[in-house]
Amino acid sequence: MTDYSLKLNQCIAVLPDIRSISGNYPDITYNKVAFDSRKIQPGSIYVALAGINVDGHDFIQHAIQKGACAVIGTKDMPSELAVPYIRVADARLAMAWASAALYRFPSNEMVMIGVTGTDGKTTTSTYLYNILREAGFKASLISTVSAVIDDQEIDTGFHVTTPESPDIQHYLAEMRDAGVTHAVCEVTSHGLAQQRVAAIDFDIAVVTNITHEHLDYHNSREAYFAAKGILFQNLGKKDRATKPLAVLNVDDPDSYNFLKKITTVRKVSYSASGELQNAVSRIESIVSSPSGLKADVVFKNLQGISGETKIPVTTNLLGIYNGSNLLAAMTAAIYGLGVSPETAAKGIAAVQSIPGRMEVIDYEQNFTAIVDFAHTPNALKQALDSARAMLVQNQETGAEANRIIAIFGSAGLRDREKRRMMPRVSIKNADITILTAEDPRTEPLSDILSDMVDAAIQDGAVLNKNVFIEPDRRDAIRLGIAMAKPGDIVISCGKGHEQSMCFGTTEFPWDDRTAMKAALCEFLHLEGPDMPYLPDKDHYLDKL
């Protein structure tokens, strides 16, 4: 990894909306940008962020004591600091530009593809990354699961979000230095609203869908849509070698109509439902099975080809909804980068699995156990619909098939409406619902579960008949397995690939896949992994 440093004056020259500068010296250089004073090293710029619960301005002196060479903030300082202080209108925006400048704006030397949406971002990004590799591009990927740089997968420790701007610019610099030509980045609404990708010029923007999520942060549906829209509004603002393109989902009319209006560059749309209006690509037919999907995909208006081109596409990933994700990725690659449909199909087929996405845990038990990341009402419905399709497929082949047992919770200190919506989805689309813990944070778990079970009962569920409460997620998974009959599907949703669960203010190591494996091995009397630890019920898991 190259060691980077830059003159502070060169950084100041690119920072947007500077209000004042004090104590600057022309020979100062910086080698890092950080917003956590505990991570400051000598030569760092400290960025004081005014958060909801913590104000970074309160830690300026601590940052200086640890070696900060300059400070960026938004507040007037009561007295002169020992280092330069740059007051700006937006500290997060300034942090993004200071980070990009330090690493010499790496995104300018690569084709940048951003994938956003409520559900399906990681899968679509992974599909697209594999298509680019199949097409011969040297490609890299940044997703909520990991970063892949020069064939090396890096555990980034992300907790379901786009990295902060110093981290994402660091990864992009590593990509650029490794000779990467194309970078696929999963971009969340938080990442857009908090300016984490502000200093990145994207060439292609892809949306999967925009449904109910993150209203605890954005406060309104309109603000959530506006955050997603930033990625599309910024397309084409600067001259780039790659012609800008927006890829829209005509099957999701709310996002389609909103983004179509605010996007000024070339637009193409796709339709997994087969909708022809406005769509350059569509799925003509699709079959779901326990081994994946098979689809016939149609493309029109291809360069140099009249009429329509139909090709077969297969994927190992489970879930009928992945038809939309694969189509989004193919459409971006074909119409944005000139990849052939045949090559795109090979890239789709190359994806073997994605951690925590309809991931089957198999110990040859007589029922199916699945771990999925579904943590929104729409994603839960899609996961349960896909599980139902698997049951139907089993029945058609003569196998015994029965029920769907869904296990999930709802995060504390987050969207309260969602915790009532998700049980209603499950009561309608699963046969048995088990409500449990999912990152309760500092909110009493009993309050969360009360809201969830009340919503389920209002929709006709009967407690201890088709809806159950088990606050301990370990025991909830055990309960689902114990209830399973031959041919059932037990699906644990909400955590997927994540590696921790938050109780109070502590992140405890947790992996739903390990927990499912441990519970299955206990049930089958096999050697297997230990069940992950969770805090004592008496302290955190208030039983109802």
Q: Where are the alpha helices (DSSP H) in 54-102?
A: 60-65, 91-102
Query: Is 151 known as a binding-site position?
Result: no
What stretch of H or E contains 132? helix 121-134
| 47: Cβ contacts below 8 Å, ≥ 6 apart | 33, 34, 35, 56, 71, 72, 73, 91, 92, 94, 95, 98
Query: Is 368 known as a binding-site position?
Result: no
Exposed / middle / buried, residue 409 (Cβ in 10 Å: 0-12, 13-18, 19+): buried
Query: Is 161 known as a binding-site position?
Result: yes
Query: Is 303 known as a binding-site position?
Result: no
With beta carbons less than 8 A apart as the criterion, state whether 393 and 292 touch. Answer: no
Residue position matching structure tokens 């909400």: 494
- Three-state SS at 359: strand
Strands in 308-315's sheet, in edge-to-edge order, are: 152-154, 147-149, 139-142, 182-186, 111-116, 204-207, 245-249, 266-271, 281-289, 292-300, 308-315
Query: Is 188 known as a binding-site position?
Result: yes
Query: Is 196 known as a binding-site position?
Result: yes
| 218: Cβ contacts below 8 Å, ≥ 6 apart | 189, 193, 224, 227
Query: Is 133 known as a binding-site position?
Result: no
How many residues are given for the chain?
544
Query: Is 121 known as a binding-site position?
Result: yes
Query: Is 51 known as a binding-site position?
Result: no
Q: How many helices (H) and strands (E) does the chain have?
A: 17, 26
Whole-angstrom CA distances from 32 to 194, 244, 457 are 19, 31, 53
**Where does 352-478 show beta strands of DSSP type E?**
359-361, 368-372, 404-408, 432-435, 467-469
Nearest C-alpha neighbor of 99 from the set 66, 72, 61, 139: 72
Structure tokens belonging to residue 200: 């990145």
Query: Is 73 known as a binding-site position?
Result: no
CA 275 to chain CA mean position, Å: 27
Structure tokens belonging to residue 315: 């994927």
Rounded Cα gap, residues 48 and 56, in angstroms = 4
Q: Point out the annotated binding site for ATP.
A: 117-123
Query: What residues form the annotated binding site?
Result: 37, 117-123, 161-162, 188, 194, 196
